């Protein structure tokens, strides 16, 4: 790729994430992105601090040599996905964090089943394209006439995680929710955080941003500005839940 071609591709990518009315000049776009990054850093610091105490646990057990390579590979993927969940939350990508948290849960359950030599049964029961987080939970719950492979507490937490994942992926509830300024928040909107971001200076800038960002609400009486952090509450709840779930899961080893 030539230098000119790289500049054109980069410019298109930058313009794709800017409001339609933003300048098309690359230098102006760079300044807007730098300013946006500077404005967002306090929030990112705040969000990072919110999740610093949340972690997942992996078992420290000896395994058979024949299983070692596969389980270590799963461990790597679990930790990589958990790291990306933390980054997604830190950078305000809360909807993505919800979905990725369930990936962590699914991989940890797979690791447990492989260690218990139960994964092959699950593979034989369902074709790969039919193996979902929901089907994995059902398999672990076991048939009604006998106990499942996981405790009721663990499967309950997994069901809650799956509920959050489905909502984050399909927005069955949220796309029908009418966003309201606190304290008149729609009860169905408990997945979001609606935060007052009113500032004495820079109100014109905030209004400019609102032309291309539907995530802002304005109180018509006080003129306060609110930012809607979509799925923020769900993302934090999902991270706490998967942290608790993994601790319970690997206590079964």
pLDDT tens digits, residue range 15-46? 444 455 555 688 888 888 888 788 889 889 99
- Name which residue leads in pLDDT, 93 or 149: 93
> Rounded CA gap, 214 and 228, in Å?
9
Chain-centre distance for alpha carbon 185: 22
> What are the structural domain ranges in the chain?
51-173+234-250, 177-231
Is the pLDDT assigned to residue 200 strictly greater than 60? no
- What whole-number percentage of the chain has pLDDT above 70? 74
Q: What is the pLDDT of residues 120-138, one digit of tens each?
A: 889 898 888 889 999 999 9
Q: What is the pLDDT of residues 181-192, one digit of tens each?
A: 776 666 667 899
* pLDDT-derived band at 213, boundaries 50, 70, 90: low
The domain defined by 51-173+234-250 folds into: 1.20.120
Q: What is the pLDDT of residue 9?
A: 31
Q: Which single residue is written with the structure tokens 């300024």? A: 181
Q: What is the pLDDT of residue 71?
A: 61
- Name which residue leads in pLDDT, 105 or 9: 105
Q: What is the pLDDT of residue 214?
A: 58
Is the pLDDT assigned to residue 172 strictly greater than 80? yes
Q: What is the pLDDT of residue 70?
A: 62
Lowest mean pLDDT among 74-83, 214-223, 227-236: 214-223
């Amino acid at each position: 790729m030539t230098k000119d071609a790289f500049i054109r591709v980069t410019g298109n990518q930058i313009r794709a994430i800017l409001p339609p009315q933003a300048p098309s000049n690359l230098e102006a776009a760079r300044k807007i992105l730098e300013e946006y990054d500077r404005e967002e850093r306090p929030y990112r610091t705040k969000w990072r601090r919110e999740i610093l105490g949340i972690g997942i646990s992996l078992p420290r057990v000896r395994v058979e040599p024949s299983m070692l390579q596969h389980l270590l590979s799963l461990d790597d993927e679990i930790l990589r996905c958990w790291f990306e969940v933390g980054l997604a939350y830190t950078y305000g990508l809360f909807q993505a964090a919800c979905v990725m948290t369930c990936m962590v849960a699914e991989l940890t359950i797979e690791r447990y089943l492989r260690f218990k030599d139960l994964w092959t049964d699950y593979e034989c029961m369902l074709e790969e394209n039919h193996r979902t987080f929901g089907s994995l939970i059902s398999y672990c719950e076991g048939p009604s006439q006998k106990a499942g492979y996981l405790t009721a507490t663990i499967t309950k937490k997994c069901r809650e995680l799956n509920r959050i994942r489905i909502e984050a992926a399909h927005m069955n509830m949220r796309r029908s929710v009418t966003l309201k300024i606190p304290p008149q928040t729609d009860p169905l909107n408990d997945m979001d955080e609606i935060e007052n971001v009113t500032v004495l200076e820079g109100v014109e800038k905030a209004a400019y941003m609102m032309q291309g960002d539907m995530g802002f609400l304005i109180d018509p009486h006080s003129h306060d500005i609110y930012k809607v952090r979509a799925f923020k509450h769900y993302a934090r709840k999902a991270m706490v839940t998967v942290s608790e779930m993994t601790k319970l899961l690997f206590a079964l080893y």
